[in-house]
Amino acid sequence: MNKKQLQSEQTKKKVAEAARSLFAHKGYTATSIEDIVAATGSSKGNIYYHFQSKEGLFKYLLDEWDRDWKEQWAAKEHLFQTTEEKLQGFAEHMVTNDLNHPLTKAMDEFISSGWERSDIQQEMSRYVAEHIEFNRQILQQGMDEGELNADDARTLGFILEGLMMGLGEMSKRAPNAAATLGIYRKAIQVFLHGTALVR
Amino acid sequence: MNKKQLQSEQTKKKVAEAARSLFAHKGYTATSIEDIVAATGSSKGNIYYHFQSKEGLFKYLLDEWDRDWKEQWAAKEHLFQTTEEKLQGFAEHMVTNDLNHPLTKAMDEFISSGWERSDIQQEMSRYVAEHIEFNRQILQQGMDEGELNADDARTLGFILEGLMMGLGEMSKRAPNAAATLGIYRKAIQVFLHGTALVR
DNA sequence: TAAAATACAAACCGAACGTTCAGTATAAAT
DNA sequence: ATTTATACTGAACGTTCGGTTTGTATTTTA
């Protein structure tokens, strides 16, 4: 790789990093290209040379995030045996990797700002569908192995995803880092065993 | 009431209605005052005469919504006896009154657009806290009456709220009106009885 | 009937923002 | 040494939007 290419790559990284920090702290809309210019020292034109657009830059960051997420989950997936362990591990992974991730809030904003933009909504649906399928597999396995009641694994996967999503939503608003993990754990427990008395 | 006051009130209503429809279809940010001008025939100045600002207009609509919601829930609350009935009734009420309400999506957008605006976030927190408290009461009563396992009712209320919020979020994206109510019902059932086999 | 308040219109303001583009510098290739 | 491709600059553009101001018609009040 050239000296020039190397330099180019570095500036791209620098821009991406600064942008991530800005998006995380100020949100997507409130972060202007000008802000990124000010933070990097790079010029406007250069940013547009490396990324197609503001949206393109943001998506680039989201992809990076997605890659890291999967990578890190794959690294510890094998640690969990039973369904309960897996779900607890999954919840913990979400708390540490999603909830605390700088871009979660900005992503929410980005999605709901792209209102009628069907492409953005579709991309989001893809993410969600992936999660549901992920949940479905864990639950189906649990049913096959007699840990869970036989039931519609897809619907339950949908509900589980909703539960995680909602808890994330709420925890973002009331950031009580210490309590959050406990609540997630409790939620998984409720999901598995319910709250009603066993008669 | 004057002839003039009456006329004035009618135009205010007309503006509010048009705005609600626009916000619902295009979202908060994407709806400009100009759009409302075009839809009503009223002038910009007149809209600002009736409402302090765009934000004020939107909040006015949210308040209207909140009033209606509480009114309608109060009207049917007494129909439900057991905790399970109450929760199922509550879920159903949410599906019919929140999920299908035109402003749900716009409200999400409004909230996440008001990034650093602590006043908006606080107002939202108030709503959420109300819901949690509402859930807590139902659950506590269920515990007192021996329907539910004795536990921390507030935490469970928090989790329940998260579950409802997440399901709402997801149902908005995949609008399958027929299936949605079923999923909510199932979710309440899971919340109460869990998915794991009783050993 | 004169004065004052109310309801509304239309033009205008200023600022912000994403994006473009003509041009420049620098390193690589010939 | 010259050409070419790549990386980068920064001023300018066009548009959008929330909000203000000034003026006017109509109705109420005195």
With beta carbons less than 8 A apart as the criterion, state whether A180 and B141 touch.
no
Question: How many Å does it take to go from CA A5 to C1' C27?
Answer: 10
Specify whether the CB–CB gap between A112 and B172 falls below 8 A. Answer: no
CA distance B52 to chain A (A): 23
Give the list of residues 6+ apart from residue B138 with CB closer than 8 angstroms, or none: B83, B86, B87, B90, B157
Q: Does B166 touch chain A (CB under 8 A)?
A: yes
Q: CA-to-CA distance for B156 and A5, rounded, in angstroms?
A: 55
The per-residue pLDDT for B45 is 97
In this predicted model, what pLDDT tens digit does every residue of B27-47 receive, in sequence order?
999 999 999 999 999 999 999
Could A128 and B170 be called an inter-chain contact, meaning their C-beta atoms sit closer than 8 Å?
yes
Query: SS3 for A176?
Result: coil
Query: Residue B57's closest CA among B67, B72, B46?
Result: B46
Helices (H), chain B: 3-26, 33-40, 44-50, 54-76, 83-94, 104-113, 118-144, 153-173, 177-193
Distance from the A124 Cα atom to the nearest Cα atom in chain B, whole angstroms? 9
B39's CB contacts (< 8 A; 6+ apart) are B18, B21, B22
Alpha carbons B197 and B186: distance in angstroms, whole number: 16
CA distance B19 to B86: 34
B26 vs A: CB within 8 A: yes
| Cα B12 from Cα B7, distance rounded (Å) | 9
pLDDT of residue A106: 92
Nucleotides of C under 7 A from a protein CB: 6-12, 16-23, 26-29
Instruction: Assess whether B2 (CB) lies less than 7 A from strand D.
Output: yes
List per-block mean pLDDT (blocks of 10 residues) for chain B, which spans 199 residues. Answer: 91 98 93 97 97 97 92 94 94 86 88 80 86 95 96 97 93 79 97 89
3-state SS class at A148: strand
Supply φ then ψ for residue B88, to 5 degrees.
-65, -40
Query: Which pLDDT score is estimated for B176?
Result: 76
Q: How far, in Å, is the CA of B42 from the C1' of nucleotide D27? A: 19
| Gap from B152 CA to chain A (nearest CA, Å) | 10
Which residue numbers in chain A have pLDDT < 50? none
At A108, the amino acid letter reads D
pLDDT in tens, B143-156: 999 999 999 999 99
Q: Is residue B142 within 8 Å of residue B83, measured between CB atoms?
A: yes
What is residue A199's predicted lDDT score, i.e. its pLDDT? Answer: 64
Model-level pTM?
0.89
- For residue B168, the chain A residues in CB contact (below 8 A) are 166
Nearest to A191 among B29, B128, B190 (CB): B190
